[in-house]
Amino acid sequence: MWYNNPKQTHFFFRRMSMNEHIRTSNIERFTGFSDLYNQNRPSAPQEVVKILTTYLQKRPQRIMDVGCGTGLSSFIWLDHADHITGVEPSDDMRAVALKRWQEQNEPSQLKFVEGLSHQLDAPSESVDIITCSQSFHWMEPESTLKEFARVLRPGGIFAAYDCDWPPAFNWEIEERYKQLIALADSRARQLAEQDKQAHKWNKSEHLQHIRESGLFRFSKEIVFHNWETCDATRYANIALSQGGLQTALKLGANELSSLFEDFRKEVENTFAGETREILFSYRMRMGIK
């Protein structure tokens, strides 16, 4: 057994310690800008509900939206599921979700709880659909998928869906957006202490993780899009709400403030005071238990 081998025992506990450091750093990454995030990020489109309900072949009784943030991906289920639980480890993000819940007259079928993806407070085989909107890449996939498979009913669905950043609008603005975020990510890595650096798994490997887990009988990637109205302030703030930029600014990369202001001015000039339609492209990777 592993516990009779000192080398394997050391590796096991070292891996556990590393995973705990990663989880803590990933949660702390989203502290301090929950209102900015909530006001500017896209709400999950109704296509998510339509696609997943079609595959489930019935109205879902229980939904778990894991890593739900401010609830942008939870509220879309209000008229389409009997019970919805938003699971979010960040106190800041969860507080905004609860505020929105109160503003909508505290719908009884929806609740928000603190929790981690690998330790869900749910009985085995009790959930119809688990979603991760813009969040699965912050979760350790092996332990998370085992836990999702535990709580899903037979025939239940796990779906991770993400936007492609930046949203489609203008190629020059999009190029500046990508340059700004790439620099911010680089500065965040330079400034963060090694044991406090956030870690994200490659989104392009989500489907591979689902398939290689051996926990799902069917898996697939689905792509779709959603048009939303947007003004210059919102478009610029979508960039500002990116975790890498926020992290770098919190760590003292002050030069990014002036670079962001230059970006904001370019966005304002391009929008020219108008509200425009911008395109959010989505990629959903799903598995059916």
- pLDDT at res. 200: 86
Omega before residue 166 within 30° of 0, cis:
yes
Q: Which residue has the higher pLDDT, 29 or 151?
A: 151
Checking if the pLDDT of 14 tops 80, the result is no
- pLDDT at res. 25: 45
- pLDDT at res. 24: 53
- pLDDT at res. 38: 83
Cβ-defined contacts of 268-275 (< 8 Å, 24+):
268/232, 268/236, 270/169, 270/170, 270/172, 270/173, 270/232, 271/231, 271/232, 271/235, 273/232, 274/231, 275/229, 275/230, 275/231
Q: Are 279 and 157 in contact (CB under 8 A)?
A: no
CA distance 236 to 12: 44
Report the range of poorest mean pLDDT among 14-18, 51-55, 70-74. Answer: 14-18
Query: Which tokens belong to 158?
Result: 């796990």
Checking if the pLDDT of 217 tops 50, the result is yes
pLDDT tens-place string over residues 67-78 = 999 999 999 999
- pLDDT at res. 31: 59
Q: Which residue has the higher pLDDT, 193 or 11?
A: 193
Beta-bridge mates of residue 84? 63, 110
CA distance 210 to 277: 34
Model confidence band, residue 3 (pLDDT cutoffs 50, 70, 90): very low
- pLDDT at res. 33: 64
